């Protein structure tokens, strides 16, 4: 194994980890990025471009591809996919990591460790009333992203037919203290509205309904986009409680209107799922004695050569993840400077 003095270990090859590796690389600091999946890019790497009529909607999904390309051109960055950590130890100022799978069997020594293990999209099966596993045309926002990326349009999963009417249910697994998620996931309104706009532009006759509490617009240009698009959507200020499948595999929900219970059905329904801590988080907490913030994501300790960046520290959009990761690079560099 190559001598790795001064090398930084980055856990996770999503946009946070890739940005971290690239920026360290720009400063001449070598790094090893380990990724448990087969490819780098993380969640955001599977998301669709949401441009409408050749006009960027600022979702940031393309930036992941830019990062993957730039990584290949930087010789001081080593990437190891299908690799996970088997253990971490400290020896003086060095971090000794043991790896599982892949060619990396370790142990190897590093000067600093940056956890960029990202988030876990909320699994709607956690809340039985969504009937997520039983209703064929009920999908998550992540699945819609992937459908838009692969096929460029929406189709019903049950029969592959075009979608005449569809609905988005917002705040699924967000803003819900009862679920242990007392936070806004910050991205769901953004991705749902951007995709809705794209779908409407491509299929002007498709009707789109939003079930929502509040529209959490944020980020560059989003406000304007929202006002331009607002009137093209039916807005229902309610999060439905009961979900069912009707004849012809339409997705039904019960809604309350002025005290009366009614039913609405759609060809396709998207649950705009929020972000939760990664399932890998507990083991890092245990190994490294890390602290959770009030929203249950990790707090970056910024000491002892251990750092946390990106959505491992809380829900954030792709551009915000890049900003956070780049800000963390400054702390990592300060540490490396002090250490030497």
Partner 1 sequence: MKPLSPEKTVAVLGNGETARRLSEELLKRGFPVMLVMPNEKNTNEVPEGAEYVAGEELVSVKGQVSDFTLVLGVVGKREERRSDFIVVAYESVREPVYDILGEPHHERIWPLSYLEQLNDDAFGEKYGKIIFLDRLDGVNSVAASARFLNAIVTAQEDHEIACCLITCQVKVASPGLEMLYGRMRDGGCLVARTDLLELEVDAKEVRTRFDDIVLDDVLRVSGDLLVVGERERPAPELKKLAGVLGLETDQEGFLQGDNLLRVPCLTNRRGVLVAGGSVAGLSEWEREQNIPSVVEEVQALSRWLDEVIPVEQIIYDRDRCATCLTCFRVCPHGAILFTDKPHFLHLACQRCGICTSLCPNEAIELSGFEKPSFFERLFPEKIAGEQDKSPGLTGFVCERSVDLVRQYLEENDPVLNAVRWIEVPCAGTLRSQYILETLAKREGADGVVVVSCHKDNCRSGDGTIRAASIVRQVKGLLKTLGMDEGSVEHIPLAPNERERLHREVKRFQTKAKKKSLTERK
- CB nearer to partner 1: pick between 182 and 262: 182
Tokens found for residue 184:
């806004």
Residue 149 touches partner 1, criterion: CB under 8 A = yes
Closest to 239 in 3D by CA, of 295, 199, 179: 179
Give the list of residues 6+ apart from residue 290 with CB closer than 8 angstroms, or none: 284, 298, 299, 301, 306, 308
Q: Over the range 231-254, which residues count as b (16 or more CB within 10 Å of their CB) and which as e?
A: eebeebeebbeebebeeebbbbbe
Per DSSP, what are the bridge partners of residue 9?
Answer: 32, 113
Tell the smallest beta-carbon distance from residue 46 to partner 1 (Å): 9
Q: Which of 126, 159, 221, 242 binds partner 1 (CB under 8 A)?
A: 221
Q: What is the CA radius of gyration of the chain?
A: 22
Q: Between 141-151 and 188-202, two packed helices, what is the crossing angle to 10 degrees?
A: 40
- CB nearer to partner 1: pick between 111 and 300: 300
Tell the smallest beta-carbon distance from residue 136 to partner 1 (Å): 23
Tell the smallest beta-carbon distance from residue 1 to partner 1 (Å): 27
Tell the smallest beta-carbon distance from residue 232 to partner 1 (Å): 16
226/264 Cα distance (integer angstroms): 25
Tokens found for residue 128:
């039985």
Rounded to 5 degrees, φ, ψ at 318 are -65, -50
- CB nearer to partner 1: pick between 233 and 251: 233
Tell the smallest beta-carbon distance from residue 160 to partner 1 (Å): 16
String marking each residue 14-53 x if it binds partner 1 according to CB under 8 A: ---------x--xxx----------------x-xxx-x--
Site for partner 1 in 302-321 (CB under 8 A): 314, 319-320
Closest to 334 in 3D by CA, of 31, 74, 90, 29: 29
Candidate ranges 100-108, 121-129, 260-268, 328-336; the one touching partner 1 (CB under 8 A): 328-336
81/39 Cα distance (integer angstroms): 6
Q: Which of 1, 56, 125, 232 binds partner 1 (CB under 8 A)?
A: 56
Residue 331 touches partner 1, criterion: CB under 8 A = yes
Rounded to 5 degrees, φ, ψ at 6 are 85, -5
Residue 62 touches partner 1, criterion: CB under 8 A = yes
117/14 Cα distance (integer angstroms): 8
Q: Which of 38, 54, 260, 261 binds partner 1 (CB under 8 A)?
A: 54
Residue 214 touches partner 1, criterion: CB under 8 A = yes
Q: Which of 120, 131, 143, 218 binds partner 1 (CB under 8 A)?
A: 218
334/307 Cα distance (integer angstroms): 12
- CB nearer to partner 1: pick between 86 and 323: 323
Chain positions contacting partner 1, by CB under 8 A = 23, 26-28, 45, 47-49, 51, 54-56, 58, 60-66, 69, 149-152, 175, 177, 182-184, 186, 189, 214-218, 220-221, 223-224, 227, 237, 293-295, 314, 319-320, 322-324, 326-331, 333-334
């Amino acid at each position: 194994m190559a001598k790795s003095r001064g090398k930084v270990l980055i856990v996770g090859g999503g946009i946070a980890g890739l940005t971290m590796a690239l920026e360290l690389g720009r400063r001449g600091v070598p790094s090893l990025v380990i990724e448990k999946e087969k490819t780098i890019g993380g969640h955001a790497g599977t998301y669709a471009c949401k441009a409408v009529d050749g006009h960027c909607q600022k979702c940031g999904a393309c930036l992941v591809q830019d990062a993957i390309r730039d990584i290949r051109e930087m010789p001081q960055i080593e990437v190891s996919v299908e690799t996970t950590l088997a253990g971490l130890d400290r020896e003086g100022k060095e971090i000794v990591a043991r790896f599982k799978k892949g060619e990396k069997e370790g142990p190897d020594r590093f000067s600093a460790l940056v956890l960029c293990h990202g988030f876990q999209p909320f699994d709607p099966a956690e809340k039985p009333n969504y009937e997520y596993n039983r209703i064929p045309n009920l999908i998550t926002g992540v699945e819609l992203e992937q459908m838009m990326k692969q096929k460029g349009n929406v189709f019903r999963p049950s029969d592959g037919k075009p979608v005449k009417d569809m609905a988005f249910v917002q705040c699924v697994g967000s803003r819900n203290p009862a679920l242990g998620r007392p936070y806004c996931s910050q991205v769901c309104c953004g991705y749902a509205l951007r995709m809705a706009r794209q779908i409407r532009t491509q299929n002007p006759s498709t009707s789109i309904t939003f079930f929502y509490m509040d529209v959490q617009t944020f980020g560059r240009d989003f406000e304007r986009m929202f006002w331009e698009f607002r009137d093209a959507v039916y807005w229902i200020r309610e999060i439905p409680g009961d979900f069912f499948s009707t004849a012809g595999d339409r997705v039904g929900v019960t809604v309350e209107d002025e005290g009366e219970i009614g039913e609405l059905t759609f060809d396709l329904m998207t649950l705009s799922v929020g972000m939760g801590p990664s399932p890998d988080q507990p083991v890092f907490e245990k190994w490294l004695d890390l602290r959770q913030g009030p929203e249950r994501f990790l707090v970056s300790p910024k000491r002892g050569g251990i750092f946390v960046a990106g959505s491992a520290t809380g829900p954030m959009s792709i551009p915000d993840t890049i900003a956070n990761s780049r800000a963390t690079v400054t702390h990592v560099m300060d540490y490396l400077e002090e250490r030497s």
